[in-house]
């Protein structure tokens, strides 16, 4: 059959990334406890397209993914990228994977165990023998406003905040370690299951540890600065304000 994608294109414009996005696929993630966590990733796969070609072969991306088995291991990322380059005759290949990550947590007083969900993301690219990998972790926390506490006779407004940490590292940094840094930087961490005694403890902990959104990103950044493996990071925090109809936001980026 006629291969329309391989026809010559005369607009002389190279495309940086072309491929498929929104593909759901089972993956396995190794956690810090050296066990395997099964989850479902939303995947994007892309290559560059030289200026002389009209289009790429979209089906080949799915072929590459399925060629590595019904479950994709994180350790296979380099192999997948190189297979994409070879099969699609590309100079560069990109792979993005976003997935829910679960951790078992005990409530602070009752010590009841429950699962907390977080969002993790891998962004990997290959160009020749060079490889780039960025780990992104999103974690929700509680923040209590220092200004509100200082000016109020009773209580202070608090809210849930979302912290997003993206980092590059010289060796593997565990997702759990990034989550721990984020949660230790907030007024309080969150839990899936709280009894009344737990709720009292969490509320009082937040009241004794007020942080602005600026404090939050700085606290996380200090912990990342002290980590010996982290070479670059970007920390974003967004507080979903409880007394305003807008959100508070802060960002710190550091590294080459």
> How many DSSP H helices and E strands does the chain contain?
6, 10
Residue 6 has what pLDDT?
60
C-beta of residue 92 within 8 angstroms of C-beta of residue 127: yes
CA pair distance 208, 188, nearest whole angstrom? 10
> 19 burial class (0-12, 13-18, 19+ CB within 10 angstroms)?
buried
CA pair distance 37, 30, nearest whole angstrom? 6
Average of per-residue pLDDT across 240-245: 92
In the chain, helix, strand, coil percent, each to 5?
25, 45, 30
Q: Does residue 64 share a domain with residue 27?
A: yes
Classify strands 15-30 and 72-73 as parallel, antiparallel or unpaired: parallel
> Which pLDDT tens digit goes with each residue over 33-78?
768 899 999 999 999 987 777 777 888 999 999 998 878 878 889 9
CA pair distance 75, 36, nearest whole angstrom? 12
> Which pLDDT tens digit goes with each residue over 113-165?
999 999 999 999 999 889 999 999 999 999 999 999 999 999 899 999 999 99
Q: Does residue 114 share a domain with residue 92?
A: no
Show the domain range for 8.
1-98
**What's the domain count of the chain?**
2
Q: Does residue 205 share a domain with residue 133?
A: yes
Domain boundary among 72, 98, 124: 98
Q: Does residue 128 share a domain with residue 179?
A: yes
Classify strands 158-169 and 230-239 as parallel, antiparallel or unpaired: antiparallel
Q: What is the CATH number of the domain that holds 22?
A: 3.10.270.10
Q: Does residue 232 share a domain with residue 128?
A: yes
């Amino acid at each position: 059959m006629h291969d329309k994608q391989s026809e010559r294109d005369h607009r002389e414009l190279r495309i940086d990334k072309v491929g498929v996005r929104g593909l759901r696929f089972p993956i396995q993630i190794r956690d810090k406890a050296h066990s395997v966590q099964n989850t479902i990733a939303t995947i994007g796969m892309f290559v560059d397209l030289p200026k002389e070609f009209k289009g790429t072969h979209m089906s080949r991306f799915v072929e590459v993914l399925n060629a590595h088995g019904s479950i994709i291991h994180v350790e296979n990322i380099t192999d997948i990228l190189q297979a994409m380059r070879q099969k699609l005759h590309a100079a560069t290949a990109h792979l993005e994977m976003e997935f829910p990550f679960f951790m078992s947590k005990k409530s602070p007083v009752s010590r009841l165990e429950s699962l907390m969900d977080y969002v993790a993301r891998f962004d990997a690219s290959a160009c020749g023998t060079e490889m780039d990998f960025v780990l992104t972790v999103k974690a929700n926390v509680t923040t209590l406003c220092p200004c509100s506490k200082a000016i109020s006779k009773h209580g202070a407004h608090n809210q849930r905040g979302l912290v997003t940490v993206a980092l590059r590292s010289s060796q593997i940094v565990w997702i759990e370690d990034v989550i721990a840094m984020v949660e230790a930087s907030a007024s309080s961490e969150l839990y899936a299951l709280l009894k009344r005694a737990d709720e009292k403890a969490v509320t009082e902990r937040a009241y004794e540890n007020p942080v602005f959104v600026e404090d939050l990103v700085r606290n996380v950044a200090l912990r990342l600065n002290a980590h010996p493996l982290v070479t670059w990071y970007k920390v974003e925090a967004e507080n979903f304000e409880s007394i305003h109809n807008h959100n508070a936001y802060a960002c710190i980026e550091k590294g080459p």
